[in-house]
Amino acid sequence: MMRCVFLLVSVLICRAAALYDSRDDVVELTDSNFRNRVQNSDEVWIVEFFAPWCGHCKNLAPEYKKAARALKGVVKIGAIDADQHKSIGGQYGIRGFPTIKIFIPGNSKPIEYQGARTADGLVDAALRELKNVVNKRLGRGSSSSGSSGTGGSENDKDVVQLTAENFKKLVLDSKDLWLVEFFAPWCGHCKNLAPHWAKAATQLRGQVKLGAVDATVYQELAQEYGVRGYPTIKYFPAGPKDRSSAEEYNGGRTADDIVAWASEKALENAPPPEVIQLTNEKLLIDACTDNQLCVVAVLPHILDCQSECRNNFITDLKSLAEKFKKQKWGWLWSEAMAQPKLEEALEIGGFGYPALAVVNSRKMKYSLMRGSFSFDGISEFLREVSFGRGRSAPVAGAKLPKVEPIQAWDGKDGKLEEPEDIDLSDVSLEDDEPNPAKRTEL
């Protein structure tokens, strides 16, 4: 009887943790069935790599189920717990959750889905890829255009047509990241690139802009950027830029290669995560449960380390957040003794302040840094943590500690509270000594 109860509870827990169950039209994928179901399939698959503890994954689940219902019998929709089946997640370089990839029959590399996390967005992407597969089987190819940048094809609608007149405004004066192809209509390599360029432009929409310049028409513009052969692709980083900002693209020429290269550049150009003061419980939950790890620094009290001192520590933490931004961690700081339950749960304070710990909320474990609280010291500690090395311990109580709501630091120096002024004018200061005149001489 007890065994049956245990099995029933186990099943219920597993179902709750997985986000999807047999009642949904989402196929449950695992290490054991992934190759046969997806990699060896002759069907289009959309696969979500998720973690049960991930808040964004939970938010996506209703839309993902809706898309699966709409695409039933048309495109396969699957989901894999990459936290449990790490070998599959590692195979596809999964760094954050949820990650959605589209698997196309005959393609060795899946396509990263970059669209809206809605049922409509997922369905549109699925049908677009399905249409490309059908066209390819009919010998039509994925684009009806004979050259890149001609602007006559429905499939290259996301490729921006660039000219000498609009180049400065659209590319140099924008804050966006750009990939620009300089092509010639008669160039065979350009024609081969065209469908891949158009496909990559669609997949990167909203993240990286792809443009095309007909170098035979705008020869001066091509000469300005040293174009000597076709196609030539130039990369323009995000933010303020000028002609000297252009860099040579050195990636592959397939849509998958272009998307992978541009996505990596976009990640490099992305702003670092914020280093936030821990002033309420929601901040701790968001930083630690929506990310694989969260870094928690406890800085000295403002009376022991005034504004300049504290800002130096925060500047180092921001630089570290920039250095490790690809890891997509949460970053928090607190003042010594402001959050006693947090310090108790992470055993902070025994070595003095400042102190730093890294929390894994899904395993409810933490690693406490015992070395130097400096940029180099923290960097080395975080590098070890990122490789899964170093000592760890369970979080006290096996849950995130309670956080006291406090006022955010105003950025100013701390001041000792001055004693209240007491009016002593009405206080009688009688001498407790007996009246000398009344003393009796012995």
Residues annotated as catalytic are 54, 57, 187, 190
Q: Which of 171, 165, 164 is nearest to 216 (CA)?
A: 164
Phi and psi angles of residue 155, each rounded to the nearest 5 degrees, phi first: -75, -15
**Does residue 357 contact residue 368 with C-beta atoms inside 8 Å?**
yes
Side-chain-side CA neighbours of 396 within 13 Å: the count stands at 11
Across the beta sheet with 232-236, the strand order is 159-162, 209-214, 178-183, 232-236, 247-248
**Does residue 65 contact residue 26 with C-beta atoms inside 8 Å?**
yes
For 35: left if phi > 0, alpha if psi spans -120 to 50, otherwise beta; the answer is alpha
Give the Cα separation of 410 and 407 in Å (integer).
8
Strand partners, 100: 48
List, as one string, the DSSP characters of 89-143: HHHTT--SSSEEEEE-TT-SSPEEP-S-SSHHHHHHHHHHHHHHHHHHHTT--S-
Count CB neighbours of 118 within 10 A: 14
- Please report, for residues 314, 321, 335, 414, the alpha-carbon distance to residue 307 in angstroms, rounded to integers and kept in the order given: 10, 21, 12, 8
Strand partners, 81: 50
Distance of CA 183 to the CA centre of its chain: 34
Side-chain-side CA neighbours of 260 within 13 Å: the count stands at 15
**Does residue 34 contact residue 94 with C-beta atoms inside 8 Å?**
no
Structure-token match 């309670």, residue found: 402
**Buried b vs exposed e over 42-68: b needs ≥16 C-beta within 10 Å?**
eebbbbbbbbbbbebbbebbebbbbbb
**Buried b vs exposed e over 366-399: b needs ≥16 C-beta within 10 Å?**
bbbbeeebeeeebeebbeebbeeebebeebeeee
